[in-house]
Amino acid sequence: MNPLNSLTAPFIIVMLFVALGYVWSCAVYPYKACRACRGVGFFRSPIFRAIRLCRRCDGTGRTLRAGRRVYNAAVRTHRSLRDPRRRNRRDDNH
Ligand SMILES: [Zn+2]
C-alpha cells in the first residue's frame, strides 16, 4: 500500500460523510436567514418608525440554501424533461 492511498482514503471517507450531512441538513433545513436583512424580513427607517420589506426575500426573512436551490433546479429540469414525453404519449392516444 503506497503512502498516498493511506492518506487519501480516510480523507475521501470524511468528505463523503460531510457531503451526506450537508445533503441531509438541506433536506431538513432548506432555508437560511436572508443575508440582506439578517432574517428580519424588513428594514426600519431611522425616522417615523417606518418599515420597508426586504426585496431579496420578499419580507419572509429567509432564503433557500445553495444545496436546496441545486436540488430544486434538478427536480425542475427532471420534470421539464419528463412532462413533454407524457404530453406526446397522450397525443398519440387520441
Ligand atoms: Zn431579506
63: DSSP letter: E
> What mean pLDDT is reported for the chain?
86
Q: How many angstroms does the Cα of residue 76 sit away from the middle of ligand 1?
A: 24
Q: Where are the beta strands (DSSP E) in the chain?
A: 31-33, 42-44, 51-53, 62-64
What average pLDDT does range 80-88 have in this prediction?
71
- pTM summary value: 0.61
Q: How many angstroms does the Cα of residue 53 sit away from the middle of ligand 1?
A: 8
Around ion ligand 1, residues with a beta carbon closer than 5 Å are: 34, 36-37, 54, 56-57
| Pair 46, 57: CB distance under 8 Å | no
- Share above pLDDT 70 across residues of the chain, in percent, rounded to a whole number: 84
In whole angstroms, give the CA distance from residue 55 to residue 19: 31
Condensed to tens digits (0 to 9), the pLDDT of residues 20-42 reads 999 999 989 999 999 999 999 99
Q: How many angstroms does the Cα of residue 19 sit away from the middle of ligand 1?
A: 27
What average pLDDT does range 80-90 have in this prediction?
68
| Pair 47, 92: CB distance under 8 Å | no
